Amino acid sequence: MQKGVAGSGKEPEQTLRECLPIWDRLTEQEQRKLRESAVLRHVRPGDMVHSGGTDCLGLLAICTGQLRAFILSEEGREVTLYRLFAGDICLFSASCVMHNLQLNLMIQAEKETDFWVIPAPVYQSVMNTSAALANYTNEIMAVRFSEVMWLMEQILWGSMDRRLANFLLEESELEGDGSLRITHERIANHLGTAREVVTRMLRYFQNEGMVRLNRGVVELTDRRKLERLSASSRPER
């Protein structure tokens, strides 16, 4: 097991405590079981973390960075289901302990990311003895299910202009910048559509004064217009 994030000077149990929100509600024995089995990993942007349902990696507890969870069609088309940030956990990478759960989920790093991997059998063992962890697991499952269902509704019934506007605004919030260094192909991968569709829609946005396009850059020039366009496509919180 690695001894903490490189350069952090932290002990493993301290780091795991900070990265696993439920930690302080576990018994000392349960904490020790998780601490002794967990492995700290570091990935760079573009690295694949999890490659589908046949790969039972284990539960992921994110410390720093950003991961993207997506599904891949037989034709190679991607659609982003959700992102994972510091303090989040990913259960679907340990789907082998979730009975009757079949989800061919891919997970890829979008930024430099540190996370703990808790082996699926160990997590299952602790969940069987800890009501707090079991309840927390059910809450996470419910949240992720709601996110995925909302996304499916948008794909099935939402218009592409609203979905694109919503994506650009969320991406701008994540990056803290109105000038997004992102390709049309990458946007298409997030939205589960063709690059040509994204290019055509972005050109329409540019003609309407909402964005300015340069090579590899989409600059948001009228956020209010984008917000009005995306308003009806955002989930209630």
Q: What pLDDT score was predicted for residue 4?
A: 41
Q: What's the first-to-final CA gap in the chain, in angstroms?
A: 38
Backbone angles phi, psi at 72, to 5 degrees: -130, 125
Residue 161, judged by CB atoms within 10 A of its CB (0-12, 13-18, 19+), counts as middle
**Cα dihedral 127, 129, 134, 136 sign:** negative
Q: What pLDDT score was predicted for residue 137?
A: 87
Helices (H), the chain: 12-19, 28-37, 120-129, 131-157, 160-175, 184-191, 195-207, 223-230
Backbone angles phi, psi at 59, to 5 degrees: -75, 140
Mean pLDDT by 10 residues, the chain (237 residues): 40 70 93 94 93 74 93 83 89 64 80 92 92 90 84 79 93 90 92 90 93 93 92 51
Q: What pLDDT score was predicted for residue 55?
A: 63
Which residues on neighbouring strands pair with residue 40, listed in sequence order? 116
Q: What pLDDT score was predicted for residue 2?
A: 41
> Within 10 A of 189 (CB to CB), how many other CB atoms are there?
21
Please give the domain boundaries of the chain with CATH numbers for all domains. Answer: 12-156 (2.60.120.10), 159-233 (1.10.10.10)
